[in-house]
Structure 1
Amino acid sequence: MENEPTAELIRAQLRRLRVRAELSQEEFGRLVHFSGSQVSAVELGHRPLDRFFLARADEVLGTGGLLMSLLKLAERDGQPSWFRPWLEAERQAQQLRTYQPTLVPGLLQTENYARAMIRTDDLITDDEVERRLGVRLDRQSILSDPDRPKYIAVIEESVLRRADEGYRGLMAEQIAHLVECAERPHVDIHIVPTSVTMHVGLVGPFALARGTDGGWVGHLENQLGGVVVDKDEDVAILLSRWESVRSEALPRRQSVELMKDVMTSWS
Structure 2
Amino acid sequence: MSEEELGLEDDDSRAVITAVGRQLKLWREAARLKPAEFGTAIGYGENLVYKVEAGKRIPRPEYLERADEVLGAGGKIAAMAKDVAEARYPKKVRDLAKLEANTVEMGAYTNTVVDGLLQTEDYARALYRLRRPAYGEDEVERQVAARMDRQHIYQLSPAPLLTFVQEEATLRRPVGGRMVLRHQLERLLELAKLRHVEIQVMPTEAEEHAGLAGSLRVLKLKGGTAVGHDEVQLTSRLISDPREVQVLEMRYGMIRAQALTPRESLAFIEKIRGET
With the length of structure 2 as denominator, give the TM-score of the two structures: 0.79
Partners of 2:22 and 2:54 within 8 A in 1: no
> Structure 1 residues 108, 238: closer, same or farther in 2, change over 3 A?
same
User: Is 1:79 aligned with 2:129?
Assistant: no
Deviations 1:24-65 (A, max 9, x none): 4343453xxx423323322333x4215xxx144367568798
Letter in structure 1 aligned against 2:271: D
Partners of 2:117 and 2:150 within 8 A in 1: yes
User: Is 1:251 aligned with 2:261?
Assistant: yes
Deviations 1:171-201 (A, max 9, x none): 0111111111111111111112233145121
Residue aligned with 2:48, SS: helix
Query: C-alpha distance in 2, partners of 1:40/1:243?
Result: 54
Match of 1:57 in 2: 63
Partners of 1:85 and 1:228 within 8 A in 2: no
Match of 1:137 in 2: 148
Cα deviation for residue 67 of structure 1 reads: 5.4
Match of 1:27 in 2: 40
Partners of 1:220 and 1:227 within 8 A in 2: yes
Q: Percent identity?
A: 28
Cα deviation for residue 105 of structure 1 reads: 0.7
Deviations 1:105-124 (A, max 9, x none): 11111111111112222323
Query: C-alpha distance in 2, partners of 1:56/1:231?
Result: 43
Query: C-alpha distance in 2, partners of 1:43/1:75?
Result: 16
1:1-267 counterparts in 2 under 5 A? 1=7, 3-11=13-21, 16=27, 24-28=37-41, 30=43, 34-45=44-55, 47-49=56-58, 54-57=60-63, 66=79, 68-75=81-88, 78-80=90-92, 86-123=96-133, 124-163=135-174, 167-266=177-276
Deviations 1:136-193 (A, max 9, x none): 11111122122432111010121110127x6001101111111111111111111122
Partners of 1:181 and 1:187 within 8 A in 2: yes
Letter in structure 2 aligned against 1:57: Y
> Structure 1 residues 69, 262: closer, same or farther in 2, change over 3 A?
farther
Partners of 1:200 and 1:241 within 8 A in 2: yes
Cα deviation for residue 134 of structure 1 reads: 1.8
> Structure 1 residues 167, 12: closer, same or farther in 2, change over 3 A?
same
Partners of 1:29 and 1:36 within 8 A in 2: no
Two-structure CA RMSD over aligned residues (Å): 2.9
Query: C-alpha distance in 2, partners of 1:254/1:84?
Result: 34
Residue aligned with 2:229, SS: strand
> Structure 1 residues 11, 103: closer, same or farther in 2, change over 3 A?
same
Cα deviation for residue 264 of structure 1 reads: 2.3
